Chains A and B, each alone.
Chain A
Amino acid sequence: MMRPVVLSGQVRIGGQVLFPPIRLTLRAGTWTALLGPSGVGKSTVLRLIAGLPIGGQFEGRIDNRPPVALMAQDPGLLPWLTVRQNAALGARLRGEAADTARLDAILGRTGLTDHAAKYPAALSGGQRQRVALARTLMEDRALVLLDEPFSALDARMRLAMQDLAADLLRGRSVLMVTHDPAEAARLSDQIHLLTESGLSDARAPDSPAPRPPGDPAVLACQGALLSRLIAGAGA
């Protein structure tokens, strides 16, 4: 079981404070959304937890940083590898043999069995994100980081991908960075708002995710988040 990941501190970029001191806790088995407008440093928080370079100085500490699997808006598929090879990229990059039984199972659960031998150029945007999800599941890490993974998809495909991701990542520890209040309200157990004035908590609906987009509790949560985002911009 993953111990709670705690990030506390602030980030400066070229002397400017990107966001004031924050304290973010990620609990095991919890889907946490980090919601905020563009340019406020959400992805920087995610990159810090992933151990990736950021374009600035981090002043603070991260406790219990676990191994992570990353899924971003750019699916990052390699055009010269098939769907199957892309999904097993982690093993290839570590010089290990891929677990083929698990690979087959994961391709099945992401609906990619019939596309396994295709190259990314032959796939739709939604299918590419399914390959990225399959690759993320193959990594089987303690913490899954989602960096606006569905924001480039159209509304219908986005809903379908949210459902699939919620289903396949159930029970895992997830940090999802998003600028979409609806997405946060549908999928998360914990919601944190990051704005220019800092980090604040918001209440997520109580029902299990993925919640129907028209659910009154989801709509109410979405509305409340939107108002707070607007208020945050004014602050």
Chain B
Amino acid sequence: MSARRIVTPLILAAGGLLLWQGLIVATGLPPFLLPGPGAVAAALWSNQALLAQAALRTCAEIAAGFGLGAAGGAVLAVLMAGYAPCARALRPVLLISQVIPIFALAPILTLWLGFGMAPKIVVTALICFFPVAAAFFDGLTRTTPACRDLARTMGANGWREMWHIRIPMALPMLGSGLRLAAVYAPVGAVIGEWVGGSDGLGAVMIHANGRMRTDLSFATIAVVTLIALAFHAQISALTRRLFARFE
């Protein structure tokens, strides 16, 4: 890695912080509207235990929701690609599941599933489900024609062709769906926590906002952002390593 790749972002970050502080000095905004970088750092430090505990909970919801949504999306894509009536029946359901605003669904899920982790996991899964299903289905329907012809002349039945040719050939597309879902997963968990319950980073954010603790709100947003970036990086590395030989 070149020094430039480390130095450039550092300079940009330092510039951003400086601009932020400068804005506060210039406008004289009170800290409850816009806390300075120092105040946010102090809030991060003094609320370590609270943030760490909340982050752990949010991470667990992200991982469980992502796993559930990705698995569901992948299975659905295979069913739709392998069985045409399934595709006809499920395509509108898939679309409707996406146009329903998740914000509207989250309180209902809390009503049904209580204030524990379950509704948060379901919201995350609902958000992850679509990009995985759509990308994998796309991959499964774009099998190279030469390979499909071979499978037919060789006397493969539909599910053997699916297992030995179409699924492996579509794995790189599944990978791009998973990478996209990894970006959305933390959003799902945080939305779930906003709506119900008292645990997790989303709940910390809501409480901090309610008490005008804007510095803690910013600190929580910083933690969520870091978690989201780290989760995406992990999923990217994993999918690229696992699926490289199927390209």
Contact = CB atoms under 8 A, between A and B. Distances in A.
Interface stretch (A88-96, A166-174, A221-229): A88-96
A52 B147 contact: no
Contacts of A78: 147, 165, 168-169
A76 B150 contact: yes
| A80, A92, A95 — most chain B CB neighbours (10 Å) | A80
Contacts of A119: 245
A76 B153 contact: no
Interface string B150-187: 11111110001100110011000000000000000000
Contacts of B146: 72, 74-76
Quick one: which of B144, B145, B155, B169 has the most chain A CB within 10 A? B155
B144 A51 contact: no
Contacts of A145: 153
Interface residues of A, number: 24
B112 interface: no
A79 interface: yes
A90 B156 CA distance: 8
A72 B152 CA distance: 14
B156 A94 contact: yes
A87 interface: no
Nearest to A94: B155
A48 interface: no
B23 to A, nearest CB: 53
Interface in A20-57: 47, 50-52
Interface string B35-75: 00000000000000000000000000000000000000000
B194 to A, nearest CB: 43
Contacts of A139: 153-154
A233 B169 CA distance: 40
Contacts of B155: 67, 90, 93-94
A116 interface: no
A6 B146 CA distance: 25
B87 to A, nearest CB: 18
Given A78-B165, A94-B155, A70 B150 contact: yes
A interface, by DSSP: helix, strand, loop or mixed?
mixed
A70 B165 contact: no
Contact of A94 (B149, B160, B165, B247): B160
A206 B190 CA distance: 80
Interface size class of B (residues with CB under 8 A): 20 to 34
B188 to A, nearest CB: 32
Given A92-B164, A119-B245, A52 B144 contact: no
A2 interface: no
Nearest to B151: A93
B247 A89 contact: no
A182 to B, nearest CB: 24
A80 B152 contact: no
A52 B151 CA distance: 10
Nearest to B154: A90
A214 B152 CA distance: 39
A93 B156 contact: yes
Contacts of B145: 74
A93 B160 contact: yes
Given A51-B153, A68-B153, A76 B144 contact: yes
A131 interface: no
Given A72-B146, A80-B168, A95-B160, A50 B153 contact: yes
Contact of A76 (B147, B160, B168): B147
A89 B144 contact: no
Contacts of B149: 47, 50, 52, 70, 72, 76
A79 B153 contact: no
A93 B246 contact: no
A95 B158 CA distance: 12
21 contacts: A47-B149, A50-B149, A50-B152, A50-B153, A51-B153, A52-B152, A70-B149, A70-B153, A74-B146, A76-B147, A76-B149, A78-B147, A80-B245, A89-B150, A90-B154, A93-B151, A93-B154, A93-B161, A93-B164, A94-B154, A95-B160
Interface of B: 144-147, 149-156, 160-161, 164-165, 168-169, 245-247
